A and B are shown apart, each in its own frame.
Chain A
């Protein structure tokens, strides 16, 4: 039983508006912008450390094997290098994570579980010696039988079942039941700066590690566990970081441990800077997934029953898989009201490199499937994709499959209508329908069923809608118990102390904005302390689109408390009083710990309740040209409408929507990892291709605000939301252009041709599948 609660109309921010976010005047320029623009910003490899040696990793070339021995050529002068094996690990040989299953180095006699798994580490004074030493090793293994198919694997990392109503009964009453299977493969984050760490031994027997990373305290925990260090001995410092997108959420722990172990044994600093080939070959990727839908609808397109199965490929070790699967399961029905839902999700192990976090974190995979399936249902019923969504999208007062009542901050309808209107969706659809009818066959390939004298390019438009739970799933934030501090120093300077990192999304700009607004001072009066675990508290990881909403919210709360304290003590206004107060009384520090959002509760055992405190909403309309001879898809134009709760900085927020949209376009069209024998074949930039400026569409961003009352500033996060909608919009546009539905990503030319020519043999292996090595 749902009731419709009339909301206040969400604010739509017109594109040209300069929204000050209630800070003074024009939004501030990016705080660290000038340094980045002049080459002065120091990324890890820019940092000069006198006396540092270079480190390298010896990796497995087998997907599954017994590690028998590491033979060293006696003719090589081994005194020039430092060698580290598992035997040298002083703490636990475990990269700390959810399950303690991943070793830092495979021990001699141990089991290698994936290609490129680290076996040993080397350090030398210069790169030439390092190269020579690598060639003087011989790794001996005994091959074991690998498992590459996640559907066949019986080793489960996690599973979830979510259900409501009676799916089987409702299916029986449906006017139409449609089934579909959708597959997505690996995607590489492809931050332009490769993983990099520099480890420097400390005088107290610990190690200070500086590097490219998103989560200083994740690395800190890993160092403590692997090297047996305490909180002070393990020190982690974030260097300027050239992109992360989740690819530097958990992987940096591994490379930091490697650099630290080498520096400990060599008793000198060690630099571990990956080249692109190693970075692609060895680090985490987006989880491949197989999603099956069986959906029952009424004749007018209302959802009656959803039966959904999700299988994710976790790779060889658990890493973050249970959380990726969880988010995937919770989002797999799409942003739609359905009284009878059954979701069964599981993630299994395969002998491929472990998969991990990538922007969207399970949602892009399942929302591609959900949106494509709904678009196919719309086509089958002869209903517009826009209209079918109007009839089903969540509105205020609806309940989700976990029993969460959507009480506020619901903007699915708004983003849907804004995107469709701005893109002239229905007008284009009608035009393309006429063009399709006139086109008898297509392309210019002689003798093929596609042959025609007519145009070679077919135009299409596609629509998709998504929701994205803001912040950590369930009780994640409560468990994290993050801390942010605001410090008023004795000299009267104001400093924010947080472990939240800047990696281009704008943390170092929006946090001072939020504090400045709360304190009533100019934004330039607010400093950010460096992200160094010796200085800043654990604010939790910079992931899950939580930085603006959760940590930013805490910045606001802490600032308000500081203001209140000074104003109470002085009887004056903070902007006038704080400097004299500080100089007279010495420093003041406010430590703000995360307080649970009111009326938000979730049961991790039964998976019932409020899965997320609030949801962001996004709609996307994509226009494509499909070349009917080659199958190439060119995405011309995208309109993206995103509800992010509250726009703190419009330029930075648009930047997130634009960047996330293009990553989704790449996911949809050209980014593909092929595998042979469990090894990635596209392990260079020449073969793993991401969109260039010529591939990129024009992107128009519409920012919508449906604030979340639990956050003091109303913001819900923006980073991942755009990633959920781009791919299904493109696939829908391909179908609009050609009449053919692509069920697998990427919709590469081979897959498009196979679909439009109805010749399955042209298509490559399913995404994520490993072809056997040639014998």
Chain B
């Protein structure tokens, strides 16, 4: 599906003015994030904050909080209940943007669910579904809606276009923007023996508003990498800098790691590393 085009050499240039560097918010490390609040230009919210969370309100006062909906599935229309919940969360966070993954992990009848990122068939029929449902959700939310790529562990049968072309056409149809998740792209490439730099250039890079980066670890079951709450490797850090240089409209870079085992020092260390790297 992807021509492994040689990557253009990265252009070394100063970090774009006003580029936000941030991370995901996890309540169990809230105290440490608050203590290092000056490091974070934004903190991504994925779950509604608990009333018992003592740090959320103070962080919200100081740091913009975009919302990333990891459970949404734009292959099907959002029902009123899900739309209202997402709208409420975005309002609570005063979210500058909302991200929906371009994924389809639940069967339409609700009988089967993978509870894990899984891409749609990359076809025009599916693109039309995502475009119609995405536009409806964006209008209902009244905020910018970004589309995030997800990893593919194998090439889906009957897909007629690449994931990058799918995202391009989706953005054209909705005048939308992209949240480019680099670990997702990296995993897709590695598991299918493709060149991540080649895949990157299939994306509508002029439409990328947010870049997500993070770490991967080797999964024996897959005999390859999968996303993990670890710091980006040198290779992924290099890839991140390259992607930032290629995406002229990028507004924010997010360290993509969260979960109950996440340690604050990892988040703070990775965000500090990103700041240093992207300031070069």
User: Do the two chains bind?
Assistant: no
